[in-house]
């Protein structure tokens, strides 16, 4: 299993925002989280990426426990969270934003190959 969430509970202050949610995603699988405003979609993503800590439950990435791991270490594992807002880097072009996603990657040939893959996807 690539990502597994087991009985996750998260609060903001005294309010329970996530109450016992579970989900899993296999390698290559697309999983969506759908719900009304305030249903906990963003809280789920923020908790997976280490920006919010759960009060209980587990988050496993490739079988390794990641709940409670600092966000910067979760990013190094390959998990990222891109907020919905469009003003994060308003003065950067599309290519600059895409290259920012390779910030931790050192292999220049792999970065070039990844860019070619991205451009091929968007040309289709």
User: Is it the case that residue 83 has pLDDT exceeding 90?
Assistant: no
pTM score of the predicted model: 0.77
How long is the chain?
124
**Can you give the pLDDT at residue 8?**
97
Of the ranges 6-15, 36-45, 61-70, 76-85, which one carries the lowest mean pLDDT score? 76-85
Residue 46: closest CA among 36, 62, 59: 59
Question: Can you read off the two tokens belonging to residue 80?
Answer: 């990222």
Of the ranges 55-64, 84-93, 108-117, which one carries the lowest mean pLDDT score? 84-93
pLDDT digits (tens, 9 = 90+) for 27-72: 989 899 999 998 999 999 999 999 999 999 999 999 999 999 999 9
List phi, psi (to 5°) of 114: -65, -40
């Amino acid at each position: 299993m690539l990502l597994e969430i087991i009985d996750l509970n998260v609060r903001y202050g005294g309010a329970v925002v996530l109450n016992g949610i579970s989900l899993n995603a296999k390698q290559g699988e697309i999983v969506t989280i759908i719900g009304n405003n305030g249903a906990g979609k963003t809280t789920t993503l923020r908790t997976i990426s280490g920006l919010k800590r759960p009060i209980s439950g587990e988050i496993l990435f490739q079988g390794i426990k990641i709940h409670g791991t600092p966000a910067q270490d979760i990013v190094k594992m390959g998990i990222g969270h891109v907020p919905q807002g469009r003003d994060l880097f308003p003065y950067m072009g599309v290519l600059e934003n895409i290259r920012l996603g390779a910030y931790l990657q050192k292999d220049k040939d792999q970065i070039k190959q990844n860019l070619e893959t991205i451009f091929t996807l968007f040309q289709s």
